[in-house]
Structure 1
Amino acid sequence: MGLMIKRYVLDIMKPLPIYPWIVWFIGATFFMIEYVARISPAVMRKSLLSDFDISSGQFGSLSAIFQMVYIAMQLPVGILTDRLGAGYLLGWSILVCALASLGFSASESLFQAQLARFFMGLSGSFAFVCTLKLATTWFSQSRLGLLAGMTQIMGMIGGASGSMVLPYGLQLYGWRYMMAMIALSLALVYIACCLFVCTDKTSQLGGTGWSRGERWYDSLLFVCQDKQTWINASIAGLIYLPTAVIGELWGPMFFEQVYGLTDGQAARATGWIFVGWGVGGALNGWCSDWLLLRRPTLIVSAGCCVLLLLAILFSPSHSVYSLSLMCCIYGFFNTGVVTAYAVATELNPKKYTGTSIAFTNMISILYGVMYIPVFGYLLDYFWDGKQLQGDPIYALPLLYGAVLILPLAQSLACYLSIYHLKETGCRSYEHRQDGSDVP
C-alpha cells in the first residue's frame, strides 16, 4: 500500500520543475535538524554536567562522539552513496537519527547518552553527502556552488536555532523534552522522504558512468591519490576548525568566563556565527559561480577570518552586542568552506562525486573534532580547582592559550589557498580533461 502511494505521488511530482527543489529541500532539512542535534550539548552543558555527574573532559568526549563517528563514516558514506544511490540511504539515515535522538532524551547514564550520540553521528553522517549527491543528480553543474551554499545555510539555520532558541526551551521544558522534539521533527522529515524522494538507483545515479567491472573501492583510491583533493579538503578543515570548537561547543563557556556574559547571552552571541553563515553561505557559492573562479573566495574567507577571530577571542572587553556583531561578521566570512565543496565536485569525475564530497566533508570536520576533546582535557589538566555554584572557573591565560591554535589554523588555510591550490575555473573534471571551456 505504501509503495503504491509513493509511486502515485512520484508520477505526479517528478515531471514538475519544482520536484528537484523538493528533493533537495528534504535532504537539506534533515541536515538542518541533524545540526541542531549535533551542537545541542553546547547549550545543555550545565544540565548534562549535573545530570550525568561528569567533568569537562568527559563532557567534551560525549559531544565529540557524534563528530568522531560522523568523520569515520564519511568515506563509507561516499562509497555507498555512489553505489546505492542517495535517496535510498537518506530515508534510512533519517529514521535512525530520529530514534537515536529519542534515545538520548531518555538516557539515564553517561554510557546510554554516549551510545545515543554514537547512532546520531552514524545516521547524521549521511545528511550532507546525500543532499549534495542529489543536487548533482537533479541540477546542472553551474548551480553546484549555489546549492552547496544553500545546503550549508540550512545547516547554519540549525546551528543558530540550536544556539539561540534551545536555551529558551531548556528553561521552560528541560533538555530531555527538547531532544524529544528534535526526534519528532526528524520523524516528520522521514515521512516526507518516503513520499517524495525517488529511491530508484538508476534514476538517482543519473548516468554518471559506473561500470559493473569497477571495484567498490575504486572511487576511494582515485580520490585519495589526488594531491589537490587533499589540499582543498585541508583548507576547508582549517577554515572551519574555529567554528567547530567555538560555535559548536566551547564558545558559550568561553564568552561567559572571559567577557562576563550570562548563559543565555553567551549562547545567543555564539548563535550569531551561524546567522552570519546563513547570510554568507549562498552568497559565497553564488560569487564563485559568477566569477568562474574558486580560489579568490577561499583566500578572502581565510584571511578575513583570521583578523575577525583575533578580535573576537582576544579583545580586552566585549558587550553582548559587539560580540554578537563580530560573531555574525565572522560567520559571514567563514563560508569559504562552501567553495571547497564545489571544488571537490570539480576535482574528480562525476561518478565519484559522493566519495569526493564525503572525503572533503570528513577532513573539514576532522580537525575540529580532534581539538574539541583536547580543549576540554587541557582545561581539566590545568584547572586550579576554582568553582562558582558548582561550575568550574578557568584562569584567563589558560583559556587564551587553549584558543590560540584557532587563528593559526586559519592562517595556514590562507597560505594553502594562495600558494598550493590550483584553480578549477568552475569546470568539471570531464570538461577540464577534454579541454572544454564550458563550466
Structure 2
Amino acid sequence: MGGKTTAAAAAADGARRTDDIAPWVPWLMWGFGALFYCYGFFQRVAPSVMVGELMRDFAVGAAITGTLSSLYFYTYAGLQIPVGLVLDRFGPRRVLAAAAIVSCAGSAGFAFADSLLLAYVGRALIGVGAAVTWVAALTLAGAWFSPKRFAFVSGMTMALGMAGAVGGQAPLSAAVEAVGWRGTMVGAAVFAAVLGLAAWIIVRDRPGAGAKARPPAADHAFLSGLKRVLGARQIWVIGLYGAMTSAPMLSFAGLWGVPYMMRLYDMTRPEAALMTSLMLVGWGFGSPFFGWLTDAIGRRRVPMLLSSGGSLCSLLVLLFADLPLAALYPVLFLTGLFAGGIVLTFATARENAPGWASGAALGVVNMAVMSSGAIFQPLIGWFLDLAWTGETLDGARVYAAEAWRSAMIVLPVCSALAVTAALLTRETHCRPQA
C-alpha cells in the first residue's frame, strides 16, 4: 500500500511540474531525441541506394552486402536491453550525447573504409550510436508528456524517423550521384557531432530536473527492471508483434526495395528510390494515426489487429499481384501506413511494466523489433544468391525477376505471424501499470 501511495504521489508531483512549464518545452526536450532518431533511421536505410557501389567497391555479392547493411541491426538490436537499463539509470541526456560521438566515429570510419573489414566496423559503430535513439526519445516522451498522450507522441517520433528514412532514399540517391557514397557519409558524421553537442547543452531528463539529477531507477538495483520485464509473458508476445510488423519495412524499404523496383519495373535508381520511399511516407502517416486512434478509443488490441491484417493484405497484393505501374503508388503507401501500427508495440509494452522499469521494457521490445532487420536483410540476400544464374553488370550481380519474387515470400509470412501475436496480446485499456 505504501509503495502504491508513493508512486501515485510521485506521478501527481510530476504532473504538477509539467503543468508549471511552458507548453513548448516538452516538445523541445522530446524533439532532440526524435531528431536523433530521425538521423538513426536515415543511417538505417542509407545502404539501399548504395547497393551497386558497395558491391563494386568491396567486390561482394548480395548476401555479403546484406550482411554489411545489417551489421547496423546486429549492434542496434543487441544493445537494446543495455540501452534501456542505462537510460533508466543515467537518463537520456548523457546517453544521447555519448551515442552521438559513437555515431560520428562510425560514419567517418565507414566513409574512409578501404577494406570490407573496416566497413564492417564502421557500420557496426553506426548501429551502436543509433541504438540509443528510439528508446531515448520515448523515455523523454514518457517523462515530459501525460500517459494519455504517450502513444500519439510515439507515433510522432516514428513519423520524424520516417522523414529521415525518406531522406535516405531519393535525396540521398541524388547526393550519392553527386558526391559519392563516401562523401555523403562524411556529411553524416559531421551532423552527428553537431546533434550530440546540442543535446548535451539543451536536453533535461524530466521536468524540474537539472543536469545532475538522479533518474527514478537510481533507487533500484541495476538489473531489477530487466528481471521484472523478462518475467512478463506479455512482453514476449508484444515483442513478437513488433518484430514481425517491422520486418517487411526494415528488409524491403530499408534495403532491397530499390533494386527490386529497378529489376521488376525497369526503373532508374532515383525513380526506384522515390517509389520505395512511398512506403516510408505511409509509415510516417500511419504511426501518428495509430497512436491517435489507440489513445482515442482506449484500446490497444483492435488497432494492432487492424495494422497487422492490413499489412498482410497489402504485401500480398504488392508482391504477387500483376500490378500496373500506377497501382504501385497507393499499394506502397498503404503497406507503409498499416506498418505504422508498430508504435502500439511500445505503448503496450510500457503499460506492462512499472514506470521505473519503462526503459528496460522499451529496450527489450525494441531489441525484438530491430532483430528482424538483422535477420531478414541477409536472409533475403541469401535467397537471392541461391537463385543467382551468374549474370553480372559492371561488377555487380544481377538477379532474375523470379529470384526476387521467391525471396520476398518471407515478408507476408512475417505479417501473418504479427496477426497471431496481436490476437494473443492482452488488452491494457491504455492504463500504465502501478
Query: Do these two structures clear the TM 0.5 threshold for a shared fold by scoring above it?
Result: yes
Contact 1:87-1:134 at 8 Å conserved across structures: no
* Shift of residue 170, structure 1, vs aligned partner: 1.1
Match 1:427 to one of 413, 418, 431: 431
Opposite residue 324 of structure 1, the aligned amino acid is: Y
TM-score, normalising length: structure 1? 0.90
Partners of 1:367 and 1:172 lie apart in 2 by 32
Contact 2:90-2:215 at 8 Å conserved across structures: no
Partner of 1:436: none
* Shift of residue 244, structure 1, vs aligned partner: 1.0
Q: 1:200 to 1:150 in 2, by over 3 A?
A: closer
Match 1:398 to one of 396, 403, 409: 403
For residues 36-435 of structure 1, the aligned pairs below 5 Å read 36-198=42-204, 203=209, 210=217, 212=219, 214-319=220-325, 321-418=326-423, 420-430=424-434
* Shift of residue 382, structure 1, vs aligned partner: 2.7
What do the CA deviations read for 1:81-126 (whole angstroms, capped 9, x no partner)?
1111111101110122122212211111111111111111111100
Partners of 1:368 and 1:385 lie apart in 2 by 27
Partners of 1:124 and 1:134 lie apart in 2 by 16
* Shift of residue 54, structure 1, vs aligned partner: 1.6
Contact 2:275-2:329 at 8 Å conserved across structures: yes
Is the deviation greater in 182-191 or in 404-413? 182-191
- SS of residue matched to 2:168: helix
Partners of 1:200 and 1:288 lie apart in 2 by 25
Contact 1:149-1:281 at 8 Å conserved across structures: yes
Partners of 1:103 and 1:390 lie apart in 2 by 24
* Shift of residue 428, structure 1, vs aligned partner: 0.6
Partners of 2:381 and 2:347 lie apart in 1 by 33
Contact 1:259-1:317 at 8 Å conserved across structures: no
Unaligned runs of 5+ in 1: 1-13, 431-439
Partners of 1:353 and 1:17 lie apart in 2 by 24
* Shift of residue 47, structure 1, vs aligned partner: 1.1
Contact 1:137-1:206 at 8 Å conserved across structures: no
TM-score, normalising length: structure 2? 0.91
Contact 2:240-2:368 at 8 Å conserved across structures: yes
Contact 1:295-1:423 at 8 Å conserved across structures: yes
Q: 1:392 to 1:140 in 2, by over 3 A?
A: same
Unaligned runs of 5+ in 2: 1-19
Partners of 1:131 and 1:330 lie apart in 2 by 25
What do the CA deviations read for 1:386-430 (whole angstroms, capped 9, x no partner)?
223433222333222211121111112112212x11100000111
Partners of 1:55 and 1:388 lie apart in 2 by 12
What do the CA deviations read for 1:221-272 (whole angstroms, capped 9, x no partner)?
1111111111011111111111111010111111222222222211111111
Q: 1:211 to 1:388 in 2, by over 3 A?
A: closer
Q: 1:201 to 1:221 in 2, by over 3 A?
A: farther
Opposite residue 99 of structure 1, the aligned amino acid is: A
Cα RMSD between the aligned structures? Answer: 2.0
What do the CA deviations read for 1:8-31 (whole angstroms, capped 9, x no partner)?
xxxxxx953322211111111111
Partner of 2:16: none
Number of corresponding residues:
414
